Structure formats: structure tokens, C-alpha cells
Amino acid sequence: SLKKVDLSSFNTSKVTNMCAMFANDDALEEVDCSSFDTSNVTNMYAMFCYLPACKKIDVSSFNTAKVTTMWGMFSNDSQVEVLDVSGFNTANVTNMQYMFNNCQKLKRLDTSGWGNTSKVTNFGGFITNAYALTDIDVSGLSFDAMTNKDTFWSGLKSLESITFGQNFRFVNSAAIPSIAATAGYTGNWTLADPYNHTDAMSADKLTSSYSATETTPSGESYVGIWIWEKEGDDPSKPKG
């Protein structure tokens, strides 16, 4: 079975359709697309869908300016731990359904460089069952055109850090994962900067209160990084 493929000599400069290009290969362990010219690609539907043995997919150099669909692009890639999509241009994408569905070992997702997702109508199951995910940056997401009613995230039971952006809002029953009080932590979420206990709140409270245009109890913007609240004295107040 093929575990690794050399794609360095591929000339993809005129390719418009990469639909399911690597999909359903249960032996492939590594895909390096760093040499791909994707400047004319419009379709990345299920491009890497169901690669259950794959641990590395390099798409860091992708030019996605013309792409309109990313449906299931990395769906069921259950062994991938690192996936750099921070440089994606999503200005023309309309469909992101199941994009990171069942990426069980993915540790971080960063959308900060996406610019906008204002044309996306379908975010259903965007990231689900990413059980190992500890850090998510959703500052590049907006739901202006969204019509699909399915939740865009679920099953993020290891999440420890969330970065919100100016255009983000909670839609379709999506909710911040609840965290249990454990040694050193209270079970609440709070802003990372400035860190203070005044803004600490439960997952349910943060989900219902979050608004990019409103302020937290301490007067700070909700936009920013939210982390688990630590037990102990409020670091914003002097001791004594």
C-alpha cells in the first residue's frame, strides 16, 4: 500500500478541480502539497477526505483565493495532529460543511488569516469530534450568509483556549464546552489579557453573554483570547 507520494514535480498551475484528489486512501500516511500552485483551483471538495492513517498534510502554501467549496476537505482525517490552514483566503468560499469533521487528534485550529467567510452559507459540522483540540482561533469566521441550521462545532472536550474575533457570534446551538473544576482551575472561563477573576464565567454564561459589541463585567471587550480560570488571588489586585 502507498504510504507516501512524491508530488514535487506536479504542475498544477492550470488545475481548477481538485475534488477528492486524495480521498479514501486508508494507507497514505503523509501528503506534502507544498509545491502545488492552486491559484486557479475553484473546487477542493473532499480533497483529503477520509485518510485514516495520515498524520501529516502540508497545505501551508495553498492559494485558495478562487476556491468556492471546501466541503469535507479534511473530514475523517482522524490521525492528523497539525494542520496549518492559517493562510487560507476564504473570500469566495460558500460551503465549509464538515470541513474538519472527526479530526480526532487535531490539536490546534487557526482561522485568523482567513480574512472573511462572509459568503459561506453552510458551516454545518464545520469542526466536530476534535477530541484533542486544545486551542481554537475563530477570529477569521463570520456567519453573515449562513443558512444551514446545523451546529458548526461540537465534541471539543479538550478545549483550553478560544480566540474570538470582531465578526464572530454563536449560531445554531453552538456552545462553549463546559469544563470541570480540577486541581488549580475553577471550572470557569476568563479573558487571558487582562487576566482577572471579575470576568470569569461558566461556559453557558459566556456562550449566552458573548457579543463583539458588548463589554465584560470588568468593562473589557469580549473579543480576544479566553482561557481556563486559575484558582487563587486576582493577579490584577496587589496583595496585602
pTM, two decimals, is 0.92
pLDDT at 128 over 50: yes
Q: How far apart are CA 37 and CA 27, in angstroms?
A: 25
Q: Please give the pLDDT value at position 158.
A: 94
Retrieve residue 180's grid coordinates: 470541570
Contact between residue 166 and residue 223 where contact means Cβ atoms under 8 Å apart: yes
pLDDT tier at 2, thresholds 50, 70, 90: confident
CA–CA separation, 221 and 2 (whole Å): 50
pLDDT at 48 over 50: yes
pLDDT of residue 238: 37
pLDDT at 233: 56
The burial class, CB within 10 Å (0-12 / 13-18 / 19+), for 233 is exposed
- What 3-state class would DSSP assign to 209? helix
Lowest mean pLDDT among 89-93, 108-112, 147-151, 233-237: 233-237
Is residue 37 within 8 A of residue 13, CB to CB? The reply is yes
The CA distance from 33 to 26, in Å, is 18
Give the cell for residue 145.
Answer: 450568509
More confident residue, 150 or 39: 39
DSSP 8-state assignment for residue 215: B
Task: For residues 12 and 77, give the distance between their C-alpha atoms in angstroms, rounded to a whole number.
Answer: 24
Q: Check residue 175 and give its pLDDT.
A: 86
Taking only Cα atoms into account, the Rg of the chain, rounded to an integer number of angstroms, comes to: 19
pLDDT at 99: 98
Contacts of 76 (CB under 8 A, 6+ apart): 49, 50, 51, 52, 101, 102, 103
Identify the pLDDT of residue 137: 97
119-125 mean pLDDT: 95
Residue 235 has pLDDT above 90, yes or no: no
Nearest to 57 by CA among 76, 80, 41: 80
Return the pLDDT at 115: 82
Q: pLDDT tens digits for 181-232?
A: 888 999 999 999 989 899 999 999 999 999 999 999 999 999 999 999 998 7
Grid cell at residue 149: 441550521
Decide if pLDDT at 5 tops 60.
yes
Mean pLDDT of 47-60: 96
Average of per-residue pLDDT values in the chain: 92
